[in-house]
Chains A and B, each alone.
Chain A
Amino acid sequence: MADGSNGKPKTELLDQLEKGPWPSFVKEIKSACETSDAPKDLLGQLELSYKEKKGHWKHGGLVGVLGYGGGVIGRYSDIPEQFPKVAHFHTMRINHPAGWFYTSDALRTICDIWERHGSGLTNMHGSTGDIILLGTTTDQLEPTFQELANAGFDLGGSGSDLRTPSCCVGQARCEWACYDTMKLCYDLTMNYQDELHRPAFAYKFKIKMAGCPNDCVASIARADCSVIGTWKDDIQVDEGEVAKYAAGGLDIQKEVCSLCPSKCMEWDGKKLAIENHECVRCMHCINVMPKALRPGKERGAVVLLGAKAPIMQGALLSSVLIPFVPADEIEETLKELFTRIWEFWDEYGRSRERVGELIQRVGMSAFLEGIGLDPAPEMVSAPRDNPYIYFQNVEGGDK
């Protein structure tokens, strides 16, 4: 739709979004017009959506590459006559490197491939973590995939499969990381290539790995399985650095001790005392005094399960499944755990039922029994307050 004076679409509403200090996506899309025709029609259709206050993408779309059941999200314009260049506008999800570290070589390779085969527009990154290549046609999917594969990139997940795992930067550049998140992320991704590329589950399953309870990938809210780093022993304290913070004007009593959720710290003006057995490892004191305090030396992770967005039964955060796994046993433990969880989910999960909803439906005790784990006090924030307790019939017991 070229009704503007210079062959570009007239985009009065979108043009307003080029003003102001924040980087403008409209500017970005306009600059992409130099390498492809699609962004022009995308702007045109988006402008129309702004005017009419409704979307113009058709429902669904099922496209892909041979051998895979996921990784590409099909999209079609519902007004292709008006905007032919976005009649097909499929998204390809490309598995990102753990922690999103790149060389400019790698990024140039992706850009070159995408300029040849797609709209030139990307999303760095999708919220699950993938590199999102935004907008191409069905006939370009296989050639793009071939080129990406030759360059060492593979598709990410979509559909009812294991989605692309992601992690925080971890030990690459964070002194709080309690285990190697990037290695675990990569190893799990490679180990579960089949589950990632060929949807076999009742619904999607996401894994995210955070190095410490600050949870910089929001794993507790956005992954069915959240692996969050923690430690078992005492917080490491550098007395000299604590004194420097105090001398530097930090009110340790007010800013640190009184904000401690378990009130397990005391500051007498000279010495910081921590009752570590009361500490819940919330990270607050360490966050405030990073030079003085560090996570303990006996490190590992908590494994939590069940987070999901509201549909169908309401939003859930992950809840504790395994309170502590030593760092060098995490991968092995997770593999064993996934085998059991997926088997149980496969057997009892309904179509489009997330693991969190399955647990809500069958009950935590049935789930734990199904996957062979013992209940632990860390799994609940409070015991049940109603007396409707189910007892199992035991042979020889009272009925």
Chain B
Amino acid sequence: MPTFEVHGKCYAVDEDGFLEEPTLWNEDVAKDFAESEAIADLSPDHWKVINYIRNYYLQFGIAPMIRKVCKETGFKLNEIYKLFPSGPAKGACKLAGLPKPTGCV
């Protein structure tokens, strides 16, 4: 099992760097993972997206569809990519501690 080491901490992750155990997530996890997704600092805008995705996941057990993320956070898709350069699935979901999105990518 790969691990992701940062700031002296060690996380069990899958090959793509997604947290293996979503229940272990807290805000520090998001901060620790940010750099690996080309994000220098987590702004309030970042947190708005991360918290929305996290709460949706806790409520429904899946990641929200991208158009829901845009609608509910008020960010357009290109603004989401400005916040999370690797995109909502790879970037935002990873920081929110969700399991890896699957399907025909």
Cross-chain contact of A62 among B16, B66, B81 (Cβ < 8 A): B16
Instruction: List A contacts of B65 (CB < 8 A).
Output: 202, 351
Across-interface contacts of A194 in B (CB, < 8 A): 77-78
Interface assignment of A290: CB less than 8 Å from any CB of chain B: no
Given A62-B16, A200-B67, also A69-B104 (CB < 8 A): no
Question: Is A74 positioned at the interface, with any CB of B under 8 Å from its CB?
Answer: yes
A370 adjacent to chain B (CB < 8 Å): no
Are A60 and B66 in contact (CB-based, < 8 A)? no
| Alpha-carbon gap, A351 to B69, bound state (A) | 13
Instruction: Assess whether B46 is interfacial by the CB under 8 Å rule.
Output: no
Q: Which B58-105 residues sit within 8 Å CB-CB of chain A? A: 62, 65-67, 70, 77-78, 81, 85-90, 100-105
Whether A64 is near chain B, meaning CB under 8 Å from some CB there, is yes
CB-based contact B38/A60 at 8 Å = no
- What's the minimum C-beta distance from B80 to chain A, rounded to whole angstroms? 9
Alpha-carbon gap, A388 to B96, bound state (A): 48
B-contacting residues, A342-394, CB 8 Å:
346, 351-352
User: What B residues does A67 contact at CB under 8 A?
Assistant: 81, 85
**A59 within 8 Å of B (CB atoms):** yes
Decide if A60 touches B77 in the complex (CB within 8 Å).
no
* B18→A62 contact, CB < 8 A: yes
Q: B18 — which chain A residues lie within 8 A by C-beta?
A: 62
B15: Cβ under 8 A from any A Cβ: yes
Is A198 within 8 A of B87, CB to CB? Answer: yes
* A200 and B77 contact, Cβ closer than 8 Å, known pairs A60-B105, A62-B18, A63-B16: yes
Establish whether residues B89 and A198, one from each chain, have CB atoms under 8 Å apart when the complex forms.
Answer: no
CB-CB < 8 A to B81: which residues of A?
67, 69, 198
Contact residues in B for A158 (Cβ distance below 8 Å): 104-105
Please determine whether B101 and A62 come into contact, CB atoms closer than 8 angstroms: yes
CA of A62 to CA of B88, assembled, Å: 12
Q: Determine how close the nearest CB of chain B comes to the CB of A296; give it in whole angstroms.
A: 40
Q: Which residues of A contact B70 (CB under 8 A)?
A: 200
Is there contact, CB below 8 Å, between B89 and A62? yes
Q: How far is the CB of B22 from chain A (nearest CB, A)?
A: 15
Q: Give the contacts of B20-61 with A (CB-CB under 8 A).
A: 38
Question: How near does chain A come to B89, taking the closest CB pair, in angstroms?
Answer: 6
Given the interface contacts A202-B65, A351-B65, A352-B103, does A64 sit within 8 Å of B15 by beta carbon? no
Judge whether A70 and B105 touch: CB under 8 Å: yes
Q: A69-B87, A200-B67 are in contact. Are A61 and B16 (CB under 8 A)?
A: yes
* Chain B residues near A (Cβ < 8 Å): 15-16, 18, 38, 62, 65-67, 70, 77-78, 81, 85-90, 100-105
User: What residues of chain A have their CB less than 8 Å away from a CB belonging to chain B?
Assistant: 58-64, 66-70, 73-74, 76, 88, 158-160, 194, 198-200, 202, 204, 346, 351-352
A-B contact pairs, 25 of them (CB 8 A): A60-B100, A60-B103, A61-B16, A61-B105, A62-B16, A62-B18, A62-B89, A62-B105, A63-B90, A64-B90, A66-B38, A67-B85, A69-B81, A69-B89, A70-B105, A74-B16, A76-B15, A88-B15, A160-B66, A199-B87, A200-B66, A200-B77, A202-B67, A204-B104, A352-B103
